[in-house]
A and B are shown apart, each in its own frame.
Chain A
Amino acid sequence: MNRFVPLALVAALVPALAVAGPAEDKGLEIAKEADRRDTGFGDTTADMIMILRNKRGQESKREIEIRTLEVKGDGDKSLTVFHSPRDVRGTALLTYSHGVAPDDQWLYLPALRRVKRIASNNKSGPFMGSEFAYEDLSSQEVEKYKYKYIKDDEIADVACFLIERYPVDKDSGYTKQQVWLDKDEYRARKIDYYDRKGQLLKTFTPTEYKQFLGKYWRAHKMMMVNHQNGKSTELIWSNFKFKNGLKDSDFTRTRLTQVL
């Protein structure tokens, strides 16, 4: 039984020790290809309903609107507006995501009529009490992980690449993520998240993919199941709109106060 801890430690160290080899190169190539296929979308807006469920089956809903601006050479900019629960209506989050450096974030609190910078550089906690961590939802820049190709696999009869990726940020809640990307379109089909002790923590399953502008695929339903606490969160997306003509000036701290 005492072997457990050393094993867990070894499991945690393996990615750090892994030197670049063919599997690593192939993993990175796959990640880059997936990223390449999603570039050039310009901007998007979409609505999202977040449904939280606990072990007793109780539910709670949050309604959110998200505007994203693609930024060449850096992470995307996004504006997240909360419509419900009622108490936080009009609260808005502005994010400048970056590759390896921590993202910049500001939150507008209408009740206080102030924009507050979220100064924590450790934002791996749950997003609005859900099973999604902020790091699961933020822009998935290629540089945020190291990669390794594992094997070809199938998810629901769809041929997939299975790759592992290891977060670069030491404050990440994960040691490892296993990502299944379908070979046709490089869309994520499933992600398993492993916690700091190397134990399976959550499984992410996006479904109902639809294509936009003949190129960009967006899942309209996402499920995150936490295997350890029995809670789950479902995201239901709608109203995807591309090329809305959003500009840098729509993603500033001043605009944050005028989202409604």
Chain B
Amino acid sequence: MTEPTVPSNGRRVRTYVDFLFKWRWLVLVGTLGIAAVAASGGRFIEFKNDYQYFFREDNPQLRAFEDLQEIYTKNDNTLIVVAPESGKVFEPDTLAAIGELTDRAWQLPFATRVDSITNFQYSHAEEDDLIVDDLVDLERDYTRDELDALRAIALTEPLLKRRLISDEAHVSAVYVRHTLPRKRSDEATKAALAVRELAADIENKYPGHEVHLTGSVMLSNSFFEASVQDLSRLVPLMYGVLLVTAVLFLRSFWGMLITLVIIVLSASTAMGIAGWTGIPITPPSSSAPTVIMTLAVADSIHLLVTLFQSMRRGMSKKEAMTESLRINLGPVFLTSLTTAIGLLALNLSDVRPFNDLGNISTIGVTAAFVYTVVVLPPLVAIFPIRAGKKSASERSNAVVTLGEFVIYRRKGLLWFGAAAIVFLSAMVARNELNDEFVKYFDESFAFRTDTDFASENLSGIYTMEFSLDSGEEGGISNPSFLEDVDAFAVWLREQPDVHHVFTLTDTFKRLNKNMHADDPEWYALPKERELAAQYLLLYEMSLPYGLDLNDTINIEKSSTRLIVTCDNVTAVRMRELQAQSEAWLRANTPEHMWTVPASTNLMFSHISERNIKSSLLGAFIALALIAVILGIAFRSVKFGAISLLPNLAPAMMAFGIWGMTAGRIDVGNAIVTTMALGIIVDDSVHFLSKYLRARREGGMATQGAVRYAFSTVGSALIVTSFILVAGFLVLTLSPFGLNAGMGLLTAIVLLVALGADLLFLPPLLMQIDKAPRLPSESQLPSPAEAAAQ
């Protein structure tokens, strides 16, 4: 069971290595030049700080949201929550703080509307007049009694209570609507920074007041900050992983340096090309450098390990390089190909940042293969590399012992493996699809803690917006329509988890009361259509700049926007509430009122549901392609088919483990199957190719071939799996939840895949492939080598 003697491609590899060694400087400088040109595209990289980029233009939830915004107004917003230490909002200094915030918020970038308890357009009756004015007159010194009266008014006003003022009046909010032109990518960041500056100013000027910031503008900006953090924190960590790997497996400074050059070149080439081709960076795609570096490390480690082994056996540097390329070129090509297929399949995802992640990583993986084959040999020639000591993995016989154990316990392992597959696959169903975009951000983000504070104390940002259509021009004044809207609002307010309902019917009731000398008896919907329309006209005439009703009523006055705000609920509950609301409308209102709600939060609530389908399709296509490639490489339909099992099962099992522990799948998890597939297949490629070589060329029986495979690639598999798992674990340190979750789940898949390849695949082979020996095909090049040609 020695290596076959110089097969046909040996000579070609030798010529190639000779060339690279001879022209090492030229090749190196030339490649570095090309890499530099590619990487220089990095200056064009655009950070997308708009949460809407997560959704393709044809996403139905995005479309619904855009439609709603085109009928009413654009709804990018900031909620500025003011929390006085005193716990009392209706104190002169707190009102002054809120008043100043309200005034100055008009100056914020893209601000088109500012609502607060101070500028609330309070309408009331005075003799025969309708007075509409700011609730709080900032130039007046209120007495204690007057402040209490203001508090009482605010807490009975449905448009304020639980929206801009808490039940106990201990915190209050200023709502700023920004109309982002969406022409430049830094709009949200510009707005967010100005909001922060304003908040800091207010905190300074009014001691004893804390200001918290949330809303979609802060969300968009946090996406930008998450991208930057990922790039600046995770990439250095990857260098750490590389260092540890080099120490453990290479024991060579120069080996580490070569690996470093390869991964830096690969990652910067990929990011540079992303810049040239206009692929924007978002938090998911900001994990691309980490992913690329992880995959690229594996490539060069494979080559370097064989290089050092050969040098220790006494070969010269050039001979050892030739030997290493000869053995590894095929598998490294094959694994790069399958990995790229898995990554490219991310293009089927419904979420654009994951398409970008797939494409950038594909470029990186391809670059890594090219650099490993073209730049690594010249670097080996240039650097004063010595063989070094045997690495930990080589000295140990543990892998051989493991192989013996697997052969001895094959029946048990087979049954155990099958049982584990069945059991864990059943557990997959325990996962629920749940995307809460607030929880994408860990507590190191001010956005997360501020949003949590806002939802605990005042109001969440989990909303649903309904555009309720009366079916006729001017129909919003139709009493029967108003009664339906009101009944809907009443029903919604009775539902668990519903925090606040914003509806025009409350304004109509208040106006009706105002028109009857503020008699509480008249706090009811107007009974006649003309009356309602004329009240509304009067009220609209009385409203100041920016505080109009155009965000609640469409121009034909035929439909109105109703906004439901929920407590902090899961996406599952959100979808349930949505379905219940739609069903209620169908059961209780005329057909023109039936509608589908929209909101930022609903887009995210559906994102993984939509994405999991496209992801599974992507995984299926990738799997089919990979099976075909393996079938060709192994020149066997049977082994192509066998290879599917250890590649399909780990993803299922990992999702099963996830179901038993985390239980919640977000959109970052959903893409793991697709992406991981191309990576885990590498292990079985290596194992099966060695196994088949032993069967076909060595004429060995099944058990012997398993033993051969263990001894030749067992440790290499463990080493690369270690690198890959470590690389993806680096991602779990991302403050951005989608990346952390994707990293962790991928790491689990990789570990399970290693287990499947070492503990389940061999017993399976021994069970299925029982023929004493396969027809000898030694006259043909080995499968991996065939692929290399």
**Which residues of A approach B to under 8 Å, CB–CB?**
1-2, 4-5, 8-9, 12, 52-56, 58-60, 82, 85-88, 91, 93, 105, 107, 109-112, 114-129, 133-134, 171-173, 195-197, 199, 228-231
Q: Does B282 contact A (CB under 8 A)?
A: no
User: Do B112 and A60 touch across chains, with their CB atoms under 8 A apart?
Assistant: no
Within 8 A of A (CB), among B184-202: 186, 189-190, 193-194, 197-198
Chain A residues, Cβ within 8 Å of B71: 54, 56, 58
Q: Does B544 contact A (CB under 8 A)?
A: yes
Whether A120 pairs with B131 at a CB distance below 8 angstroms is yes
Other 11 A-B pairs with CB < 8 A, given A5-B109, A55-B70, A171-B544: A54-B71, A56-B71, A58-B556, A60-B556, A85-B533, A91-B537, A111-B528, A128-B537, A129-B540, A173-B544, A229-B112
Cross-chain pairs A/B with CB under 8 angstroms, 18 sampled: A54-B555, A58-B554, A85-B473, A87-B474, A87-B532, A87-B533, A91-B534, A112-B531, A116-B515, A116-B538, A117-B128, A120-B133, A122-B133, A122-B545, A125-B544, A129-B548, A129-B557, A197-B109
> Does B540 contact A125, Cβ atoms closer than 8 Å?
yes
A119–B74 alpha-carbon span in the complex (Å) = 30
B550 on the A face (CB < 8 A): yes
Asked whether A88 lies within 8 Å of B537 as measured between CB atoms, the reply is: yes
Residue of B nearest to A5 (CB): B194
Expressed in whole angstroms, the Cα–Cα distance for A247 and B506 within the complex equals 42
The 4 closest A-B pairs by CB, nearest first: A173-B545, A87-B533, A124-B545, A125-B543
Residues of A within 8 A of B128 (CB): 114-117
Classify the secondary structure of A's interface with B: loop
Asked whether, in the complex, the Cβ of B549 is within 8 Å of the Cβ of A129, the reply is yes
- Residues from chain A with a CB closer than 8 A to the CB of B538 are 107, 109, 116, 118
- Would you call A197 and B556 a contact (CB within 8 A)? no
* Bound-state Cα–Cα, A52 to B550, Å: 12
Q: Are B534 and A111 in contact (CB under 8 A)?
A: yes
How many A-B residue pairs lie within 8 Å, measured between CB atoms?
Answer: 171
With A86-B474, A116-B538, A126-B540 in contact, do A2 and B197 touch (Cβ < 8 Å)? yes
Given contacts A2-B193, A2-B197, contact A231 B541 (CB under 8 A): no
> B106, B126, B528: which contacts A119 (Cβ < 8 A)?
B126
Question: Is B381 located at the chain interface by the 8 A CB criterion?
Answer: no
Q: Which A residues touch B557, using CB under 8 A?
A: 60, 85, 129
CB-CB under 8 A from B108, the residues of chain A are 5, 197
A114 CA to B538 CA, complexed, in Å: 12
Q: A126–B190 Cα gap in the complex (Å)?
A: 28
Which of B110, B530, B540 is the one whose CB lies under 8 Å from A110? B530
Q: Collect the chain A residues with CB atoms within 8 Å of residue B131's CB.
A: 119-120
A134 to B537, CA, bound (A): 13
Write the nearest CB–CB distance from B138 to chain A, whole angstroms: 12
Check B533 against A88 for contact (C-beta < 8 Å): yes
Pick the residue among B67, B107, B542 that contacts A8 (CB under 8 A).
Answer: B107
* Complex CA–CA separation, A60 to B535 (angstroms): 19
Residues of chain A with a CB closer than 8 A to B540's CB: 125-126, 128-129
A120 in contact with B107 given A1-B193, A129-B540, A228-B112 (CB within 8 Å): no
A110 & B107 in contact (Cβ 8 Å cutoff): no
Chain A residues whose CB sits within 8 angstroms of the CB of B549 once the complex forms:
129
Shortest distance from the beta carbon of B65 to any chain A beta carbon, whole Å: 14
